[in-house]
């Protein structure tokens, strides 16, 4: 995981240095600035070494071509075997991007399996691309006749720019051929075909999830796991722990946070005991929020109320985990794939609308939850991985009928889950991994289950000097003021900030 900056036909090394220094939290292991002989390009890279830690420094140069990348290519070993091991100079997974490009294979970028954002330059061409869902960020700004790319908005702050664009998920830019969308989200299925074997579907889903977890644990460093005690992170942690145990390796390190006595801490401790993970927790207070809110908002690059609220416990979890590991698994994406939010209940009698809504929400994750996870984990130099957003798992989940994801609750489940059960098929597929009371635990938002919302009132009163109840308008105004105070060009940041948008498919 890394921070990157690329200047094409614009600027100089001093400008690149000013930009990359603002991203060094993304990669504290090494920072390098390089120009390509004979080409109008300067690349800067701050590295967090995960794969190929000894020789994977970037930018990577092969002949007259140069690459910088952020993320992980999980099928890099297979690609090495296909492309020919002799052409590789490093053990870095990122080098496969460069050789795929140089192979001139049709739709070469589609062969990359992982989470990534990269910029690649030749003497007369610049190419940039982003992974299917936008797990890894990439922005671009036009400066005169040139282009400037960077991993975060803050790298552009103070340059006097008028506009910045997000490189869309699943999209590639080529200075020779323009923009093209190389990945399209598969449309979700609505109803089951006659005779569908639900038990077999659940078993197959389990196998696909297990394969995704195994793939997303590949690293040359130890990988831990966030564990909130909710269904999604518990499933990922339980499978990861099983795989480590089968391989004869040390127990999975799991991490949870919350206020004293919060539901998340209690549930996470129970899950950790059940699966046998090496568990650690951090109990935070309103004083911790007072101290860290400005830090959260600066790194989040957003003043959106809901994003800030959920970013707070993410920060404490990332900080806790980084003391022991460089990378963690998370449960992000399960709600969007399997209908896990409370508002999905309105779609229980309309599987077609539910399938369309899940497809829509998957396509917006890069601007909300994935931005939160990336920015806040990287603020602590921690790589966050999202196995539920594996391409194979997305394809399988989207082919699964929506009516199996959200179902009218069985009579004996009503007391614990309400009249409608979200993520029904996911629960069924993984029911043996966890105690029944945990498998069917009612979902809580991360900021609620962790106790953040309650502690936030006290923190905001301290920060604003207002002793009364802080409503959402006042809360949002404080977040925006805090953001404005941290940036030279706050309007530019706010214009591109991640935010929740109510554009849901009608039920």
Residue ranges for the known binding site for ATP are: 257
Exactly one of 1, 2, 100, 133 is catalytic; name it: 2
In DSSP terms, which residues pair with 71 in a beta bridge?
116
The helix (H) or strand (E) run that includes residue 372 is helix 369-379
Nearest-Å Rg of the Cα atoms of the chain is: 22
Question: How many helices, marked H, and strands, marked E, lie in the chain?
Answer: 19, 19
Alpha carbons 312 and 474: distance in angstroms, whole number: 18
Query: Helices marked H in 450-496 — which ranges?
Result: 452-464, 472-486, 490-495
The CA-atom distances, in angstroms, between 408 and each of 420, 421, 441, 504 are 5, 6, 16, 22
Contact 361, 245 (CB under 8 A): no
For 397, the token pair is: 């989940």
Q: Angle formed by the axes of helices 305-322 and 472-486, to 10°?
A: 60
In DSSP terms, which residues pair with 42 in a beta bridge?
7, 35
Alpha carbons 286 and 265: distance in angstroms, whole number: 16
Nearest CA-CA partner of 152 in 503, 476, 504, 496? 496
Contact 96, 85 (CB under 8 A): no
430 is catalytic: no
Task: Give the residue carrying structure tokens 């925006």.
Answer: 480
Q: What angle do CA 32, 366, 184 make, to 5 degrees?
A: 105
Active centre residues (catalytic): 2
């Amino acid at each position: 995981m890394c921070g990157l900056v690329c200047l094409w036909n614009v600027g100089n090394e001093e400008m690149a240095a000013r930009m990359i220094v603002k991203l060094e939290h993304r990669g504290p292991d090494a920072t390098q600035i390089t120009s390509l002989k004979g080409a109008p390009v300067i690349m800067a890279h701050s590295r967090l070494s995960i794969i190929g830690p000894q020789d994977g420094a970037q930018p990577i140069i092969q002949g007259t071509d140069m690459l910088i990348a952020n993320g992980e290519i999980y099928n890099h070993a297979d690609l090495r075997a296909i492309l020919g091991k002799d052409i590789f100079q490093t053990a870095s997974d990122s080098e496969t991007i460069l050789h795929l490009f140089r192979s001139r294979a049709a739709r070469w970028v589609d062969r990359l399996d992982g989470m990534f954002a990269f910029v690649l330059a030749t003497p007369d061409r610049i190419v940039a691309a982003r992974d299917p869902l936008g797990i890894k960020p990439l922005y671009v700004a036009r400066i005169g006749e040139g282009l400037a790319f960077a991993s975060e908005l803050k790298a552009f702050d103070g340059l006097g720019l008028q506009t910045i664009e997000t490189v869309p998920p699943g999209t590639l830019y080529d200075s020779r051929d323009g923009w093209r969308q190389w990945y399209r989200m598969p449309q979700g299925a609505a109803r089951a075909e006659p005779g569908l074997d639900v038990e077999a579907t659940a078993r197959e889903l389990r196998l696909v999830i297990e394969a995704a977890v195994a793939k997303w644990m590949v690293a040359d460093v130890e990988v831990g796991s966030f564990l909130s005690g909710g269904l999604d992170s518990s499933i990922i942690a339980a499978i990861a722990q099983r795989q480590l145990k089968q391989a004869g390796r040390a127990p999975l390190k799991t991490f949870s946070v919350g206020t004293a006595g919060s539901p998340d801490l209690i549930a996470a401790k129970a899950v950790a005991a059940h699966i046998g993970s090496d568990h650690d927790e951090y109990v935070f207070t309103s004083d911790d929020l007072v101290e860290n809110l400005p830090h959260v908002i600066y790194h989040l690059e957003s003043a959106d109320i809901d994003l800030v609220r959920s970013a707070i416990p993410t920060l404490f979890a990332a900080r806790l985990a980084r003391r022991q590991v460089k990378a963690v698994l998370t449960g992000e994406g399960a709600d969007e794939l399997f209908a896990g939010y409370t508002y999905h209940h309105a779609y229980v009698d309309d599987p077609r609308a539910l399938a369309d809504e899940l497809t829509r929400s998957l396509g917006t994750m890069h601007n909300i939850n994935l931005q939160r996870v990336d920015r806040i984990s990287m603020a602590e130099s921690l790589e966050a991985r999202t196995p539920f957003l594996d391409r194979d798992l997305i394809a399988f989940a989207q082919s699964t009928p929506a009516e199996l994801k959200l179902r009218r609750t069985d009579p004996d489940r009503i007391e614990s889950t309400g009249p409608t059960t979200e993520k029904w098929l996911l629960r069924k597929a993984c029911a043996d991994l966890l105690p029944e009371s945990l498998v069917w635990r009612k979902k809580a938002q991360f900021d609620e289950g962790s106790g953040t919302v309650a502690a936030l009132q006290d923190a905001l009163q301290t920060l604003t000097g207002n002793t009364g109840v802080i409503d959402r308008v006042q809360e949002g105004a404080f977040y925006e003021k805090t953001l404005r105070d941290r940036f030279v060009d706050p309007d530019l940041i706010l214009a591109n900030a991640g935010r929740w948008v109510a554009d849901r498919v009608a039920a």
